[in-house]
Amino acid sequence: MTEPNAEIVSLIAAHRRGDRRASEHLLARHKQDLWGYLVNHLPEREDAEDLYQEISMKVLGHAGELKDPGRYRSWLFSIAHNAVRSFFRKRRPELDEERIAVEPAPMHDGPEARFHRNERMRRLRTCLAKLNQREREILLLDTMAELPQADIAERMELNLNTVKTILRRTRIKLARMMTEEVVHG
């Protein structure tokens, strides 16, 4: 997904002038994706809420310093990525880093459709937890954060081709695991 650079440039310029609404809109544009990224990386919803607030303050405090407004989304998710890593470094002894909490969005479907959707989400959580940290992180940065693969490679300090290979293999692995979960689940 590419961002409309003109809108981001305009919002950042307004933010630099002190326009609070522009500042809030900058963050609100990616709120859902950022929230999804956090709940998929952190063990508890409360941890995601705390980190979301911390990231929001950091983003709003430093958005005016962003040199290339067209890379706002990548910049936002690199802050989130670093915040999650820092979270686990600080709390490593008391947390199981392999746990993932995914909470499906509220559904307006009937009970049967909600049941099947919740069951798929349960299987997905189980399978994601079985991936190693690097696979899971790269997959979520690509799918949830929708970061360009070049940015993921840069953030993870990997070669771009390595990221592409990991993504391809991880998707295949996840699809196989999901199928096995249905058969053996």
1-103 CATH choice from 1.10.1740.10, 3.40.50.10680, 3.40.50.620, 2.70.98.60: 1.10.1740.10
pTM recorded for the entire structure:
0.54
Give the helix, strand, coil percentages of the chain, each rounded to 5.
75, 0, 25
Domain 106-185 sits in CATH at 1.10.10.10
pLDDT digits (tens, 9 = 90+) for 64-118: 787 887 788 888 888 998 888 888 877 654 433 333 333 444 445 677 777 777 7
**What does the domain layout of the chain look like in residue ranges?**
1-103, 106-185
In sequence order, what are the residues at sequence separation of 6 or more whose Cβ sits closer than 8 angstroms to the Cβ of residue 110? none
